Amino acid sequence: MSSELDKKRMAHILGGGKEKQDQQRKKGKLTAFERANAIFDAGTFVEIDPFVVHDCNEFGLENKKNLGDGVITGYGLIDGRLVYSFLHDFTVLGGSLGLAFASKVCKIMDLAMKQGTPIIGINDSGGARIQEGVRSLAGYAEIFHRNVQASGVIPQISVIAGPCAGGAVYSPAITDFIIMTKSAYMFITGPDVVREVTKEQVDFNALGGASIHNEKSGVAHFVAEDEQDCFTLLRKLLSFFPSNNLENPPCIESEDDPNRQDQELNSILPSSPQKPYDMHELIRKIVDNRDFLEVQRHWAKNIIIGLARLNGNPVGIVANNPQVLAGVLDIDSCDKAARFVRFCDCFNMPLIAFVDVPGFLPGTSQEWGGIIRHGAKLLYAFSEATVPKFSIIIRKAYGGAYCVLNSKHIGADYNFAWPNAEIAVMGHEAACNIIFKKEISESANPDKKRAKLGDDYRTKFSNPYVAASLGYIDDVIEPKQTRPRLISSLKSIYKKRVNRPHRKHGNIPV
> Does a structural domain hold residue 247?
no
Q: What is the pLDDT of residue 224?
A: 97
DSSP 285-333: HHSGGG--EEESTTSSTTEEEEEEEETTEEEEEEEE-TTSGGG-B-HHH
Q: Specify whether 410 is located in the same domain as 451.
A: no
**Which of 10-14, 19-23, 111-115, 498-502 is the most confident on average?**
111-115
- The yes-or-no verdict on residue 223 having pLDDT over 60 is yes
CA distance 28 to 35: 12
Residue 1 has pLDDT above 70, yes or no: no
Residue 445 sits in the same domain as residue 469: no
The neighbouring-strand residues paired with 294 are: 306
Q: What does DSSP say about strands 222-224 and 177-181: parallel, antiparallel, or unpaired?
A: parallel
Q: Tell me: do 135 and 60 sit in the same domain.
A: yes
pLDDT single digits (tens) 235-286: 999 999 999 999 999 999 999 999 999 999 999 999 988 899 999 999 999 9
Separation of alpha carbons 338 and 376, rounded Å: 9
77 — pLDDT class (breaks 50, 70, 90): very high
Together in a domain, 454 and 482: no
- 367 lies in the same domain as 349: yes
pLDDT-based confidence at residue 452 (cuts at 50, 70, 90): confident
Domain tally, the chain: 3
C-alpha closest to that of 120 among 68, 170, 165, 176: 176
Give the per-residue pLDDT at 400: 94
Q: Which pLDDT value is given to residue 366?
A: 97
**Would 446 be classed as within a structural domain?**
yes
High-pLDDT (> 90) share of the chain, %: 81
Same domain, 224 and 337: no
Per-residue confidence band for 500, with pLDDT thresholds at 50, 70 and 90: confident
Active-site residue numbers?
Answer: 166-167, 400-401
pLDDT of residue 453: 76
116 — pLDDT class (breaks 50, 70, 90): very high
Tell me, yes or no, whether 150 lies in a domain: yes
Domain residue limits at 442: 426-462
Whether residue 434 is contained in a domain is answered as yes
pLDDT in tens, 302-324: 999 999 999 999 999 999 999 99
Residue 473 has pLDDT above 90, yes or no: yes
- Residue 128 pLDDT greater than 80, yes or no: yes
Q: Report whether pLDDT(96) > 60.
A: yes
Residue-wise pLDDT tens digits, 327-346: 999 999 999 999 999 999 99
One domain, residues 88 and 197: yes
From 64-68, 151-155, 299-303, the region with the lowest mean pLDDT: 64-68
- Domain assignment present for residue 217? The answer is yes
* Order of strands, sheet of 71-78, starting from the edge strand that comes earlier in the sequence: 46-48, 71-78, 81-88, 119-123, 156-160, 177-181, 222-224
> Can you tell me the mean pLDDT for 286-296?
98
350-393 pLDDT, tens digit each = 999 999 999 999 999 999 999 999 999 999 999 999 999 999 99
Write down the pLDDT at residue 448: 78
Does some domain include residue 25? yes
Instruction: Choose among 277, 317, 266: nearest CA to 420.
Output: 266
Co-location of 186 and 268 in the same domain? no
Query: Is residue 458 located within the same domain as residue 483?
Result: no
Q: Are 317 and 406 in contact (CB under 8 A)?
A: no
Q: Quote the mean pLDDT of the chain.
A: 93
pLDDT above 80: residue 426:
no
Q: Per-residue confidence at 64, pLDDT binned at 50, 70, 90?
A: confident
Q: How far apart are CA 103 and CA 256, in angstroms?
A: 47
As beta bridge partners, residue 223 has 180
DSSP one-letter code for 222 = E
Specify whether 441 is located in the same domain as 476.
no
Asked whether residue 340 falls in the same domain as residue 445, the answer is: no
pLDDT for res 173: 97
Q: In which region does residue 483 sit, left (phi positive, over 0), alpha (psi from -120 to 50) or beta (all else)?
A: alpha
> Quick check: is 501 in a domain?
no
Residue 258 lies in a domain: no
In terms of DSSP bridges, do strands 71-78 and 81-88 run parallel, antiparallel, or are they unpaired?
antiparallel
* Whether residues 234 and 282 fall in one domain: no
The pLDDT of residue 127 is: 86
Instruction: Give the CATH number for residue 164.
Output: 3.90.226.10
Is the pLDDT assigned to residue 181 strictly greater than 90?
yes
The whole-model pTM stands at 0.94
